[in-house]
């Protein structure tokens, strides 16, 4: 069974983490499959993506400590580079790296059971991308989550602007799809331009975000056909024949 599922509802792609028995923890495979699913979405005719998960107990409990992912790969604007709109749709727990993913989405629809938490200070580890939360909601509210490791209930997350709309349990995906279909009626050129302005210019980027962006570019070179051809040509003592792929 795939750890990420994709289904289409008209112009909306619904991309879901599918590990409910593990709290939808983000494993290495989940990160890679999410990245691939969003790359396919970006190349498709679909206009909007909904990022969600299977089950109601947790959108995701964060990174799988038994199978640590390269988390940046499944974070919107970092490993997920589409300029099409992304709407997060959550219920239950949104913890650690899952909070990073949802805060980087463009919009967020949440069931009233949603609870957010970033407990890394208690665990002695952080990837640092969470610092961007302070660019998205009031500074003190962000620091309460990040530094105090306090759980924030859905209502308060809505009040501070982290969540766009609260809905009854079980309605979050339907509502996100409804928003997606509304967005699909707008100009894709305008939406992409606005998103690019916001992502590239308006929102501040912390050191870990910049590092993730650099990794994305460097890993693309590392995994390219040109790199393989260059290594072969060097070993065979001949001029390389690069294709730009």
- Rounded Cα distance between 44 and 42, Å, is 6
| Closest C-alpha to 158, from 149, 166, 147, 150 | 166
Q: Tell me whether strands 4-9 and 12-17 are parallel, antiparallel or unpaired.
A: antiparallel
- Report pLDDT digits (tens) over 81-104: 999 999 999 999 999 999 999 999
HSE-CB of 223 using CA atoms within 13 angstroms: 6
- Rounded Cα distance between 233 and 79, Å, is 30
- Report pLDDT digits (tens) over 60-85: 999 999 999 999 999 999 999 999 99
- Rounded Cα distance between 21 and 41, Å, is 26
- Please check whether the domain covering 4-236 is classified as CATH 1.10.8.60: no
For the chain, domain boundaries: 4-236
- Report pLDDT digits (tens) over 131-168: 999 999 999 999 999 999 999 999 999 999 999 999 99
**Average pLDDT of span 11-35:** 98
- Rounded Cα distance between 141 and 134, Å, is 8
Task: Give 111's pLDDT tier (boundaries 50, 70, 90).
Answer: very high
pTM of the entire predicted model: 0.93
Greater pLDDT, 125 or 31: 31
């Amino acid at each position: 069974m795939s750890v990420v599922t994709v289904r289409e509802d008209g112009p909306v792609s619904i991309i879901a983490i599918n590990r409910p028995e593990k709290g939808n923890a983000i494993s290495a495979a989940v990160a890679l499959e999410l990245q691939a699913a969003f790359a396919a979405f970006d190349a498709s005719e679909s206009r909007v993506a909904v990022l969600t998960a299977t089950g109601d107990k947790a959108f995701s409990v964060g990174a799988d400590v038994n199978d640590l992912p390269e988390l940046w790969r499944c974070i919107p604007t970092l490993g997920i580079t589409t300029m099409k709109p992304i709407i997060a749709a959550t219920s239950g727990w949104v913890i650690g790296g899952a909070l990073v993913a949802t805060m980087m989405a463009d919009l967020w629809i949440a069931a009233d059971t949603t609870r957010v938490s970033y407990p890394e200070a208690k665990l002695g580890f952080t990837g640092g991308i969470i610092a961007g939360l302070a660019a998205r909601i009031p500074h003190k509210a962000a620091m309460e989550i990040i530094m105090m490791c306090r759980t924030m209930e859905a209502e308060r997350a809505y009040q501070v602007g982290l969540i766009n709309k609260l809905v009854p349990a079980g309605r979050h995906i339907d509502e996100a799809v409804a928003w997606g279909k509304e967005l699909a009626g707008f100009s894709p050129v305008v939406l992409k331009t606005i998103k690019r302005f916001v992502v590239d210019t308006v929102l501040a980027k912390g050191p870990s975000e910049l590092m993730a962006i650099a990794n994305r570019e460097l890993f693309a070179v590392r995994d390219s056909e040109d790199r393989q051809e260059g290594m072969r040509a060097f070993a065979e003592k001949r001029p390389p024949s690069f294709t730009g792929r």
